[in-house]
Amino acid sequence: MISNAQWPPLRPMQTGLRGRCPRCGQGHLFEGFLKLRKECEVCHLDYSFADPADGPAFFVICFGCVPSVILALWLEVAFSAPYWVHLFTTLPFMLLTCIPPLRPIKGWLVASQYFYKAEEGKLIQPSVEPERPVGPS
């Protein structure tokens, strides 16, 4: 088996957006639509390090849902659109701007965690030094 040092570093945008393994760039990252595989089928990288949590949903809410809500508000204020107009315009627009980006964004976040070696933060206890007397010596 090849160690991590023998794999060339691949950019997270290059591998993550395509749903490929962040180490080799060939294996698949996902088993289903958003479910991560246990490991890469090519280089056997264990994906247990990856925890994108709510990151993909946050980005989709910020960049996908906001334009959809703006469209709905504009339609309502400008045209006093009935509900059926929103059903055939705003709803498909919201679904198209919110669901498809989830997978590439999750792949990008997982690949970024691997590339930058991100891990859970830890508190480091400072070394205990003997107290020095305060004041003139």
pLDDT digits over 31-90, tens only? Answer: 999 999 999 999 999 999 998 999 999 999 998 889 999 999 999 999 999 999 999 999
d(CA 40, CA 88): 41
% of residues, the chain, pLDDT over 70: 88
Overall number of domains in the chain: 1
DSSP state of 29: S
Residue 121 lies in a domain: no
Assigned token pair, 84: 């059926």
Q: Would you say residue 88 lies in a domain?
A: yes
81 inside domain: yes
In this model, does residue 137 exceed pLDDT 70? no
In 3-state terms, what secondary structure has residue 20? Answer: strand
Q: Assess if residue 29 is contained within a domain.
A: yes
Instruction: Find the domain containing 17 and state its range.
Output: 10-115
Task: Indicate whether 125 belongs to any domain.
Answer: no
3-state helix, strand, coil in the chain (%, to 5): 45, 5, 50
Count of beta carbons in the 10 Å neighbourhood of residue 37: 16
Q: List the one residue out of 68, 72, 76 whose CA is nearest residue 94.
A: 68
Using the predicted structure, report yes or no on whether residue 99 has a pLDDT greater than 80: yes
Q: What is the pLDDT, as a whole number, of residue 113?
A: 95
The identity of residue 136, as a single letter, is: P
Which pTM was predicted? 0.81
Does a structural domain hold residue 111?
yes
Would you put residue 135 in left (φ > 0), alpha (ψ -120 to 50) or beta? left
In terms of pLDDT, which residue wins out, 125 or 6?
Answer: 6
Q: Which positions ≥6 away from 112 have C-beta within 8 Å?
A: 12, 16, 118
